[in-house]
Amino acid sequence: MTRREVFSRIARRYDRVNRILSLGRDDDWRRSAIAHLPDGSVVDLGAGTGAANADLGDREIIAIDPEPQMLSLNDATRRIVGRGEALPLGDGSVDGVFSAYVFRNLDSVAATLDEIWRVLRPGGVAAVVDLGRPESRWKRVLHRIGSAVVLPIVGLFAGGFSEYRYLHRSLDSLPQPFELYADTPLRVERIWRMGPFGFVYGVVLTKE
């Protein structure tokens, strides 16, 4: 099953299940990153159904997502079907980029970070929240066992067993964030951990 098929099939229940899995903390984790964004125009990369729209406030939201079914549920004024690896925007055209729970599902993180650098104005900020395995080895083992059991069970009750089994596997798809964001055209300003065992991370990047 491809990533696109996964998110197409779970589009209408995606936000609800995320809320359950995060014990209601998913909005708090988004807001911790959004707090670092400037005012003005902000790309919501992998915007999906628009879960971040209210927290982005008065900023001009450009919602970009590769999945039309997800984007059709988004109430942002400006919605564009597109991918992080080829952002359909001009050079230096936005003040900020926000992305939540998307990077582990990209085809190329490196290409996406290059594109974010391209579309940001000088001094622009990118803020990313995503999931991954904890840093500690023993915590990684426990977390891997837990997600292997919990995610498919939640998916079974949500009507998407195979889709949520895929999401479990996606947690192992990328290296730790301090390594993932180390060699990019953007400068790392801050990386922090959240959630049980620190399996959620936030990172703030700037364009000089």
Domain layout of the chain by residue ranges: 24-133+173-206
- For the domain made up of 24-133+173-206, the CATH class stated in words is alpha beta
d(CA 28, CA 22): 10
**pLDDT attached to residue 101:** 85
> How confident is the model over 59-81, as a mean pLDDT?
93
Structure tokens at 172: 């192992």
Q: What is the pLDDT of residue 186?
A: 98
pLDDT bucket at 132, cuts 50 / 70 / 90: confident
Give the sheet arrangement for strand 120-131, strand by strand: 78-81, 60-65, 41-45, 94-100, 120-131, 200-206, 187-194
Number of Cβ atoms within 10 Å of the Cβ of 141: 12
Q: For position 102, what pLDDT does the model report?
A: 86
CA–CA gap between residue 57 and residue 52 (Å, rounded): 9
Q: What's the token pair of residue 159?
A: 């009507």
pLDDT at 140: 63
Residue 127 CB neighbours (<10 A): 25
Q: Which two three-digit tokens encode residue 109?
A: 């993180």
In the block, residue with structure tokens 């067993």: 161
Question: Taking the CB of residue 88, how many other CB atoms lie within 10 A of it?
Answer: 12
Contact, 108 vs 195, CB < 8 A?
no
| DSSP at 25 | -
pLDDT at 1 over 50: no
Rounded CA separation 46/31 (Å): 16
